[in-house]
Structures are given as C-alpha cells and as structure tokens.
Structure 1
C-alpha cells in the first residue's frame, strides 16, 4: 500500500496505512488529470455545529487524498421559493453543484429526520439548469451526527434524496452517535472507530468519483429520453413544482 505524506494535519491517521486513491491504483487510464472536485454540505448553523465539524474533518481527509474541496455555508440561504433563484446564496450553491464531481451531505438528526437546513440546500439544487444537470451521475457520500445513540434515519433519507437527484450514492456511510463526545474544544474529531469510518467513506468516495467522472454522459444516457426532442425534455425536467 502506498503511503501518502499529505496528512500533517491528520493526527489520528496511521501514515503507514493511509493511501490516496488514484487513477493508476484503480487500473484506469490517467486521461483526466485534475483533482476530483468535491462539494460538502452540512445541516446546522450552531456555533458548535457537529455536522460542520464532521464535514471539515472529511474535507481534510479528501484533500490529503488529492481531492479539491469546497464547503458551502448555508447561513443566509433562503427557504425554497421564498426568494428568486437569482438570490446570491442560491446562485453560489448552484454554481458549486455544477462545479463538483461528487458531494458529501452531512446532517444532524432532528426529530428522527434530517434538518430543514439540510433539506433546503438540496431543494434549491434543481434536476436541471437549462442543458446542465447539476447532480445527475455525480457521486455522493452521506453522513449524520446524532445527539444520542446511533441512528441511521437521516442517512437513509439522504440516500432517498440522492437517488431522486440521480446521483451515484456510494455504499459506505457514517453515523456518529453522541457527537458532542467525539469532537474536542477546537472542533477536531478525536481518534475512534467513528473517525476511522469517515476515513473509509472518503476513500470510497474518491475511488467512485475517479471511476465515474467524465463518464456520466454514458452512464445516464436513457432510451426514453433519446425518444424525446430536446424541447420536450427541457419542458419536462424544468416544470415548476405544484
């Protein structure tokens, strides 16, 4: 296993066991050389937001694995349909969605479900922006943080949304119970099996992203849509919600 040295800011990592996925390690031709582009979304505005802490930890791991990351701050994002899509925060989110080749969604579990903040971000990303589909065929990793015992309600819901957004949701996932015990005063995650699981999830996400990117047009090509004219297809996927 190839040791990766880009983990100076990852004190929980065993460098001898840490490996960054690459096109070569996956026996793929290195025809696309730019770093995998990953957008990370979190679902809480609290000062000590554990979903944000988890996302920041995930971003550090992704960068150590050679990815380029962007974290969207949902503060000031309006409720869906409360503002026009020209709102600056909506435009920022949509541009990041178009830029990305994969995403990480992490939400707290509140009342047995994802937060409204998490859902609002996803609802603002449409299935199509003109001829561009911001999420279709892109990879997705789902995570959640819990205030109490471990639960999988939120990651299960995020998987449903990922399928609806036509994303390639990876098999692995992360659920952190009693998250208030898993992060130190600086918001850094402590060593644990839960931390190791996040490493696994990010490693898997990078692998899937390398395998899928630049090939989404082939993977998402559909017989039914080939039967439609471009105008009919645009009218259908862009129709306003009732």
Structure 2
C-alpha cells in the first residue's frame, strides 16, 4: 500500500531557487551584536568580546556590545525596563550575534542566561533571533572546557539562530590578556579570529535570505497564510 502525504496544497510551495540563491543584496555592513557574561571590573568575557569586536570591524562588520550591568533578573521587572528595551532593540538591529560566557560551576553564568532569557522568541509578528547567525565562545578560569559553549549552542537552536560550526574556548583566560587588556598572540587568539571570520561569512550568506530560509510549511498551514502573502507582508 502506498502512503500519500496529506499535504495542504494551498500552503505547500516549491523551493524558489531564485529567491534562495540570488536574493537582492543589502548594502550596509553586517550588523553583529556581542553579549558577554560577567560583571567583574576585569571581565575576561568582556575583554574577549571587545577583542572580537575589533576583529569584526576588520572584516567589514559593524559591531556593538551590550553592557549587562543593571539588567534586572528575568521576571523581576517589566519588559519596558530601559535595559531590557536596550537589549531587545539591539537584538532586532542585529543580523548576527556573538555570545561569550565564562564557565562557572561547570555552566554558563547567570548573567549570560539572564540576557538570553530577556530576548523573546517573538515580539508581535517579529521573531527577533530567528534566522540570525550566532557564534559562541567561552573563557575558562582553569583548564579548557566546552560546557558553556555546548549550552549556548542548545540555546541558539532554541532561539532559532543559525549557529556557525566553529567556536572558541580559552583556558586560563587570565594568562591570555596583557596589562593593556589586549589579547596576546596565541593559537587561542587565532581561533577567535577564525570564528569571527566564519561568522561574517555566514552572515553575508544568509542575512538577505533569512526570511525565506525560516519560512515553514507547518506555520503557513497553521496561520492559513500563503507564502506569497508572507513575502508581501515582510517586504
């Protein structure tokens, strides 16, 4: 017996190769938001994020850092809190993100998780993180570990981001920065540069077609909206 899928023909659309492979290209620099996970005066996740921002600029991107100081705990303030609004505005502005957390007690920090928890999956009809690129990094106080970056990858998938394959984990981070708070030359520095280069490439590849990449048959069927209507609405 042959099984025939019960497709809803009104919402099933063939792949638009022209839109997927040759979309109109944006003329502005790739917009990258960097989040870090420590409030210490000499925060190595912040220093690494600042170093990454310099590299992103060299690769032609516009990079902005969010300062998490003063951001309330999730559910301990209303969404109209100024720091929450600043974070959400930056996320909507961005086309890609970098998440860099220290590892504390074998996990990402609460500061890192709080920032991500304040980012909603949807704001009205807008999904702030869906289809945006993401790079994950961590700094370690001791030997190299990958617990934080692995957790950040899970969160990136949950937030529907396009998380790039490469990542960075820096052991004994206190040894990797000089007295001027600049990252010293090392294989760990080179890996960070590799990650930022890959992030910019993936952002350039996907940002102009992100809406189409994440357009789903099941959601069109659920909302009763055709692909053409969704495209026209987002234009």
Name the TM-score, length of structure 1 as normaliser: 0.82
Partner of 2:132: 138
Q: Is the 8 A contact 2:33 2:65 kept in 1?
A: yes
How far residue 31 of structure 1 moved from its aligned partner, in angstroms, is: 2.6
What does residue 196 of structure 2 align with? 202
Are the counterparts in 1 of residues 24 and 208 from structure 2 also a CA contact under 8 Å? Answer: no
Aligned partner (choices 50, 70, 76) of residue 56 of structure 1 = 50
Q: Which runs of 4+ in 1 moved over 6 A?
A: 27-30
Pick aligned residue for 1:83 from 70, 77, 86? 77
* Structure 1 residue ranges without an equivalent (≥5): 1-26, 232-242
The higher radius of gyration belongs to 2
1:158 correspondence with 2:152: yes
Deviation at 1:214, TM superposition (A): 1.8
Counterpart position of 2:167: 173
TM (norm. structure 2) is 0.85
CA distance in 2, matches of 1:98, 1:113: 27
Alignment partners' CA distance in 1, 2:110 and 2:224: 34
* C-alpha distance in structure 2 between counterparts of 1:97 and 1:120, whole Å: 14
Offset at 1:229? Answer: 2.3
Higher helix share: 2
Question: Any idea what SS the aligned residue of 2:208 has?
Answer: coil
User: Where does structure 2 lack aligned partners over 5 or more consecutive residues?
Assistant: 1-20, 226-235
Aligned length: 205
Give 3-state SS (helix, strand or coil) of 2:54's partner. helix
Partner of residue 100, structure 1:
94
1:186 and 2:176 aligned: no
